[in-house]
C-alpha cells in the first residue's frame, strides 16, 4: 500500500499543458498535442470555480486522469475524453456540444462515462445501480470507456481521504465489487491490486492495519533467508546458462486478506506471501528454470500451477510453484517470459500499446477486451432491472479459482468451482442450455446438479422440445446460466399467459355475443391506449397473469360496441376448459390437489395466473378481499396427463407394510412421488402419500384397494 498521498500545490495552465506535452510527446504528433491542449482549455473553462474536497481546483482531477491514460499510451481521442469526462456531469455543457467541438468519438466516450442525472435521491441504491448499469453497458460496447473510467476511479481512490466517510465507504465498496475485478479481468493486475488495497484500507481499516504490521515484522524476520535464497538461485541459473532476471515480490494486503477469508487460513498458513518472480526469454526457458528450481529446493506437493499451458481467462500466463527454503521457510516462485510479464501487469493496456503501431484501428484488441468482460449485452437482453444486472455482474466478477472442463470435441471451458453441467451448457451456447436434458462425465451418465471436477470431459445431451427446469436455479453457479434460465422461463410463462389470456377474453366476450375479430379493432385500440399497452398480445399476457380481470376487460370492449347485441350480464359465459397442460400460468395447489373428476373453481390471482382449486377448499374464501377473481372452469374432455393427489393412511406397525402399500398402489398403475411419516406411535403410524393419477376414478380405485389391505385401518383423501 502506498503512503498517504500529499497533494501538490495548484499549478498554472502553462504548467499543466507542459505536463501533458511531456507525457505524450514521445508517441503523439504535434497536431494531436494541439487538439489535446484545446480540450484541456475547454475543460478548465467549464470547471472554472469548481473545487475538489481537498480544496484544489477541480481541473486537477481530469488532468491526473489524462496523465494516467497517457501512461497507458491511449490515443488522442481517449486523452481528450479523459480531460472532458466530467464536463457533462458537473457543468452545463452537453454531449451534443462536445460532439460539435471535438467530434462524435470524443462525445460518445464522455457520454459512456457520464452517470445518469439523479432524480431519485431518496433511493440512492437504485440510483447508483442505474448509473452503474449505464456505464457498464457503455463499457461493454467500447472498452475505451472502461479504461477512462478506470483511470478516473484510480485517481479518486488515491485522493479518497478527502471525502466524507459515508461516500468513502460507498466508493471503496463499489471499487472492490466492480472496478478492481474488472481491472483483473482485463489483465491490468497492477491497477487492480492498487484499487483493492486502497479500498480495503477504507472498508476494513483495523484488519488492514493489523496486516500491515504483520508484513513489516515478516520482512524483518525473513530478510536474511530471502537474500540467501536469491543468491543461491542466481548462482544455479548462471551454472545452467539460463539467462533470467530475478525480482522479489510480495503479495498485496488485500490478496492476503482474501485468501485468509476464502480458505479459512491464518497468516502463518499462507505460503505465497513472499517470493520471487523469474523473467526469462522463452517458454522453453520457463520449464528449464522450473526444473532447476525444483532440483534446488523441495517443491510443496500439490502447489504447482501451469498457467502457461492453461492460461487464465484474462490471458494471464506464468508458472507458479511453492518451494521449501532454508529452515523450512516456504516461498512462491513465479516463472514467465518478458511478454507474459508485461501483459500480466498492464493487461489489455499493454496489448493496446503493442498493437497501436501496427493496427491503428485497434479492432482486434477491442474484440479481445470485449470477450474478457461479462456479456452485458446478453444480460441486458434478459433483464432491465439495473439492481439485478449489477448484482449478476458482481457475482460474475467475484474472484475465485478456475475450473477447466473439456467437451468431447476437445474445446476447453473455464468455469468457477462448483459449476454443474447446466453451467457448462449455457457457457457453450444459450440454446444448448435451454434444451439440455442430461449430461455424461467421462462417458458416465450423471445428474445435472453434479459438481464437475477439473480436467473432466463432459458431454451435454439436448432435446429440441426440452425447456429449463425452474429447480436448476437452486444449483447453477454462473450468472450466465441463472439469467438464461430465468429469461427462458419468463418467455415460456409469457407465451402461456398470452394463450390463457386469449381464451379467458374469448369466453367473457361470449356474454355479449362478440368475437375477437377485425370488427373489434377500434374498441381494442382504445382499451390498449387506456391501459398503456403496446398491442393486443400484451393485453392477453396481462389477462393471463391476472393483472387485468377478463370480465372487466370484456365489459370495457362491449361498452365501445354500440348497440350491444345482448344486455350486459344476461348470459354467463360457459366454463373455461382446463387441460392440465397449459404450463406455468395454470397452477394446481398443494392445499387441495384437484384431479379430473373433481368439481373445481378457478382463482385468477395477480401475477400468478389461474389457480385451480377443488370446490369447498378453504383457500377460496376471501378471494375478493385479496383482489382475486373467481372463474367458472371445468375439466376438458381431452386430458392426457397425470395429476398429484394426496392420501392419508393409518397403518399398524408391522414389518413390510410399506412394501405392501407400494405394491398395491403400483398395481393400480399409479406412481408414488412423495411419502412422509406424519406421526408414529407404539402400534400405529400415519403415512402421507402423494401419488400421480389420471383422474378421480383411478384415485378411488387406489383407495378401495388400499382399504382391503390387512394392516391398513384407514384411508382418506387429504
Residues marked as catalytic = 89-90
Rounded CA-CA distance 697/41 in Å is 87
Instruction: Tell me the three cell numbers of residue 536.
Output: 393486443
Contact 565, 513 (CB under 8 A): yes
- The residue whose grid cell reads 398429484 is 644
Q: State how far the alpha carbon of 178 is from the alpha carbons of 147, 173, 192, 195, 396, in Å.
A: 13, 9, 10, 11, 10
667 CB burial (10 A radius; 0-12, 13-18, 19+): exposed
Rounded CA-CA distance 712/649 in Å is 7
Strands, E, within 442-529: which ranges?
444-446, 458-462
H or E element, residue 276: strand 274-280
CB crowding 308-328: b at 16 or more within 10 Å, else e: beebbebbbbbbbbbbebeee
Contact 47, 41 (CB under 8 A): no
Other beta carbons less than 10 A from residue 394's beta carbon: 16
Nearest to 257 by CA among 303, 216, 196: 196
DSSP per position, 471-485: GGGGT---HHHHHHH
DSSP per position, 43-63: HHHHTTT-B-TTSSBTTHHHH
Contact 483, 382 (CB under 8 A): yes
Rounded CA-CA distance 232/214 in Å is 27
Instruction: Tell me the three cell numbers of residue 692.
Output: 400421480
Nearest to 184 by CA among 462, 481, 391, 399: 399
DSSP per position, 196-252: HHHHHHHH-HHHHHHHHHHHHHHHHHHHHHHHHHHHHHHHHHHHTT--EEEEEEE--
Rounded CA-CA distance 458/24 in Å is 51
Rounded CA-CA distance 348/180 in Å is 14
Rounded CA-CA distance 117/444 in Å is 55
Other beta carbons less than 10 A from residue 206's beta carbon: 7
Q: Is 22 helix (H, G, I), strand (E, B) or coil?
A: helix
Nearest to 290 by CA among 332, 349, 231, 340: 332
Amino acid at each position: 500500500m502506498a503512503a498517504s498521498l500529499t497533494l501538490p500545490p495548484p499549478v498554472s495552465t502553462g504548467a499543466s499543458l507542459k505536463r501533458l506535452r511531456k507525457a505524450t510527446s514521445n508517441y503523439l504528433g504535434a497536431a494531436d498535442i494541439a487538439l489535446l491542449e484545446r480540450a484541456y482549455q475547454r475543460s478548465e473553462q467549464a470547471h472554472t470555480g469548481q473545487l475538489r474536497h481537498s480544496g484544489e481546483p477541480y481541473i486537477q482531477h481530469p488532468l491526473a486522469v489524462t496523465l494516467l491514460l497517457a501512461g497507458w499510451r491511449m490515443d488522442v481521442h481517449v486523452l481528450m475524453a479523459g480531460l472532458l469526462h466530467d464536463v457533462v456531469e458537473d457543468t452545463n455543457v452537453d454531449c451534443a456540444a462536445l460532439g460539435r467541438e471535438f467530434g462524435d468519438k470524443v462525445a460518445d466516450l464522455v457520454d459512456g462515462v457520464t452517470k445518469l442525472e439523479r432524480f431519485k435521491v431518496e433511493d440512492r441504491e437504485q440510483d447508483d445501480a442505474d448509473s452503474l448499469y449505464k456505464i457498464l453497458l457503455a463499457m461493454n460496447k467500447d472498452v475505451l470507456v472502461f479504461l477512462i473510467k478506470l483511470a478516473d476511479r484510480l485517481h479518486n481512490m488515491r485522493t479518497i481521504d478527502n471525502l466524507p466517510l459515508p461516500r468513502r465507504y460507498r466508493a471503496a465498496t463499489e471499487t472492490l465489487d466492480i472496478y478492481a475485478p474488472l481491472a483483473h479481468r482485463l489483465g491490468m493486475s497492477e491497477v487492480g491490486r492498487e484499487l483493492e488495497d486502497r479500498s480495503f484500507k477504507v472498508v476494513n481499516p483495523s484488519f488492514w492495519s493489523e496486516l500491515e504490521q504483520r508484513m513489516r515484522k515478516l520482512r524483518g524476520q525473513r530478510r536474511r533467508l530471502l537474500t540467501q535464497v536469491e543468491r543461491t538461485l542466481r548462482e544455479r541459473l548462471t551454472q545452467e546458462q539460463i539467462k533470467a532476471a530475478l525480482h522479489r515480490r510480495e503479495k498485496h494486503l488485500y490478496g492476503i486478506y482474501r485468501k485468509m477469508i476464502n480458505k479459512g487460513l491464518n497468516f502463518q498458513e499462507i505460503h505465497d506471501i513472499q517470493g520471487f518472480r523469474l523473467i526469462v526469454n522463452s517458454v522453453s526457458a520457463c520449464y528449464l528454470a522450473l526444473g532447476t528450481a525444483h532440483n534446488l529446493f523441495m517443491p510443496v506437493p500439490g502447489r504447482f500451477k501451469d498457467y502457461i499451458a492453461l492460461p487464465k481467462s484474462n490471458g494471464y500466463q506464468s508458472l507458479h510453484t511453492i518451494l521449501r527454503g532454508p529452515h523450512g521457510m516456504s516461498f512462491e516462485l513465479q516463472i514467465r517470459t518478458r511478454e507474459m510479464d508485461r501483459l500480466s501487469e498492464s493487461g489489455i493496456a499493454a496489448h493496446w500499446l503493442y498493437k497501436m503501431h501496427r493496427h491503428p484501428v485497434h479492432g482486434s484488441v477491442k474484440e479481445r477486451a470485449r470477450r474478457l468482460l461479462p456479456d452485458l449485452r446478453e444480460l441486458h437482453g434478459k433483464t432491465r432491472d439495473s439492481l439485478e444486472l449489477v448484482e449478476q455482474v458482481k457475482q460474475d466478477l467475484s474472484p475465485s479459482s478456475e475450473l477447466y472442463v473439456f467437451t468431447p470435441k476437445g474445446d476447453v471451458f473455464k468455469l468457477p468451482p462448483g459449476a454443474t453441467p447446466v453451467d457448462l451448457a449455457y457457457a457453450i451456447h444459450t440454446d444448448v442450455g435451454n434444451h439440455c436434458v442430461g449430461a455424461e462425465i467421462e462417458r458416465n451418465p450423471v445428474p445435472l446438479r453434479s459438481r464437475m471436477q477439473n480436467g473432466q470431459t463432459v458431454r451435454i445431451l439436448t432435446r429440441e422440445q426440452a425447456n429449463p427446469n425452474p429447480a436448476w436455479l437452486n444449483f447453477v453457479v454462473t450468472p450466465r446460466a441463472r439469467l438464461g434460465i430465468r429469461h427462458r422461463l419468463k418467455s415460456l410463462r409469457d407465451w402461456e399467459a398470452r394463450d390463457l389470456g386469449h381464451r379467458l377474453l374469448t369466453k367473457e366476450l361470449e356474454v355479449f355475443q362478440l368475437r375477437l375479430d377485425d370488427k373489434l379493432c377500434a374498441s381494442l385500440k382504445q382499451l390498449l391506449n387506456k391501459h398503456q399497452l403496446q398491442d393486443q398480445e400484451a393485453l392477453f399476457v396481462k389477462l393471463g397473469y391476472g393483472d387485468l380481470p377478463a370480465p372487466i376487460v370484456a365489459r370495457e370492449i362491449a361498452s365501445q360496441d354500440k348497440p350491444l347485441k345482448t344486455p350486459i350480464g344476461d348470459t354467463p359465459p360457459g366454463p373455461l376448459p382446463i387441460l392440465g397442460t397449459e404450463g406455468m400460468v395454470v397452477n394446481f395447489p398443494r392445499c387441495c390437489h384437484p384431479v379430473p373428476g373433481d368439481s373445481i373453481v378457478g382463482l385468477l390471482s395477480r401475477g400468478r395466473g389461474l389457480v385451480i382449486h377443488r370446490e369447498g377448499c378453504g383457500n377460496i374464501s376471501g378471494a375478493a378481499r385479496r383482489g382475486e377473481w373467481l372463474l367458472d372452469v371445468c375439466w376438458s374432455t381431452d386430458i392426457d396427463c397425470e395429476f398429484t393427489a394426496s392420501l392419508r393412511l393409518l397403518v399398524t406397525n408391522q414389518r413390510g407394510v410399506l412394501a405392501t402399500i407400494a405394491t398395491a398402489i403400483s398395481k393400480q398403475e399409479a406412481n408414488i412421488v412423495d411419502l412422509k411419516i406424519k406421526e408414529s406411535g407404539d402400534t400405529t403410524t400415519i403415512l402421507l402419500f402423494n401419488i400421480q393419477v389420471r383422474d378421480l376414478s383411478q384415485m378411488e380405485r387406489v383407495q378401495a384397494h388400499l382399504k382391503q389391505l390387512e394392516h391398513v385401518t384407514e384411508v382418506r383423501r387429504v
